[in-house]
Structure 1
Amino acid sequence: MDTQNGNKDIRVAVDKNQSILKKIQLVIPGFRGYREKEDIRTADELLRSQIGGVLGRAVSSLTTARQNAINFNKFGSLNFIGNTISVVETFQGDIVHGQQGYSGFAPAIQVNTTVLDRLYEYDFEFVSKCKEIADTCSQLENVSGMQDPDILASLNRISDMIKDAKRAWSQRIETVEGIKE
C-alpha cells in the first residue's frame, strides 16, 4: 500500500514480515489485539527512525552550509546556522529517543487499532513536514552565491518550519496521551 506521496506504508512491511508464530498468535483469542498493537508499535518505531534519518539529512546539509559559509567568507550567518543545527539535532533526538508505548497484555490505557491507524496516517503528514525541512536545508548548502540577508531569511524560514513540525509532534503526543477507552 502506498501513501499519497509515494512512500511505502511501513505497516505493510511489518505485516509481511510476520513469522508463523506471529500468525498463530493472531488467531488466539485475547492475544490477537496484543499482537496487532505490537506490530503497530513496531511500525511507529520504524517511522520514528525514518524521521530521524530525514532530520539527520537536514543537519548534514546545514553542516555543509556552515562549512561553505566559512569557505566563502559569509561570517554573518555562522552563528545562526549553528543555532539551527542545534535546534534540528534536539528535535531529532526528541523524536528518535522519545517515549514509546508498550501494549502489554493488560495495559492501563487501552487503544484500539482504528485509533492507532488514524494516528499513523497523521504521522505521514508529519514526515512530509520533516522532508520539507530537509529539502530546504539542502538548498542552503551552496551559499557561495547568497548574501548574508538571504541566508538569514532562509534560516528564519527553516526555523518557522521546525516550529510547525514541533507543534505537530506535540499535538501527536498529546493525542496519544489523551486516548483512553
Structure 2
Amino acid sequence: MSDGFAPKQENWLSRVARQVPGFRGYFEREDRRAADEAQRRALAERLHRSGAALGGLSQRWLAAGAIDALPLVDALRRRLDVLINRLGNAPRGYSAFFDRQQIDAARLEAVYQYDSELLWDVELLAKKIEEAVSSAAAADAPSLFNELTAAVAVVEERVAGRENVLRDL
C-alpha cells in the first residue's frame, strides 16, 4: 500500500492479531466468518471465566452474613450472562462484510478499531471482576455493583457499535 496508512495499520493490526485468536482471517474473505466467530468466542470465554468467579463472591458475602448484597451479585451475573451469550452465540457471518471480495480500507479500519476496543474493554471488565472477587467487602457492594455494571455497559455498547458497523458495510 502506498497511501501512507500501511505502517500504522500494520503495527496496530499486528498487535490485535497476536491477541485475538483467528483475527488474521479477516484479511482473507473466505476466513472472515471463522475469524469473527473465533474472536467472539474467545472474548465470551474470557468473560465467562471471570464471571464464574462471582459465585465465590456470593458465597463469601453469604458466609459474612451480607445477605442484602446477594441480589446485586445475581443481577450483575445475569447481565454478564446475557452479554456472554450475545458475544458467543451471535449469528455467524451476518453481514456483507463476510461476503465481499474486497472491503473499503476505511470500513475495514472501523471494524478493526471496534475489535481492538472490544478486546481492551472485555479485558478491563474481566480484570475488574477478578479484582472485586478477590478483595471486595460486602460493605462495598453498592459501589462495586455500580462500577461493574458501568463496565458491563461499556462492553455492551461496544458490541452494539461493532454490530452496527458490520451491518452498515
| TM-score, L = length of structure 1 | 0.72
- The structure number with the bigger radius of gyration is 1
User: Are 2:137 and 1:125 aligned?
Assistant: no
Give, as a single letter, the amino acid of the residue that structure 2 aligns with 1:44.
D
Greater helix fraction, Structure 1 or Structure 2? 2
C-alpha displacement at 1:47, in angstroms? 0.5
Cα offset for 1:133?
1.0
Structure 1 44/155 Cα, relative in aligned 2: closer, same or farther at 3 Å?
same
Specify whether residues 38 and 156 from structure 1 end up closer, same or farther in structure 2 by C-alpha distance, changes over 3 A only. Answer: same
* SS across alignment from 2:28: helix
Note if 1:98 corresponds to 2:90.
yes
Instruction: Report Cα offsets for 1:95-143 as digits up to 9, x if no partner.
Output: 1111232689xx5x77617334541342121011111111111122235
Distance 2:31 2:157 in 1: 27
Gaps of 5+ in 1: 16-34
**In structure 2, what is the equivalent of residue 10 of structure 1?**
22
Q: What amino acid does structure 2 have at the position aligned with 1:54? A: R
Give how far 1:166 is off: 0.8
Give the residue type in structure 1 aligned to 2:55. Answer: T
Contact 1:84 1:159 in 2 (8 A): yes
Distance in 1 separating the partners of 2:64 and 2:94: 50
Alignment pair present for 1:81 and 2:73? yes
Matching of residue 112 in structure 1 with residue 97 in structure 2: no
Identity between Structure 1 and Structure 2 (%) = 17
**Gap change, CA 1:99 and 1:110, over 3 Å in 2:** farther
RMSD: 2.9
Tell me the number of residue pairs that the alignment of Structure 1 and Structure 2 aligns. 154
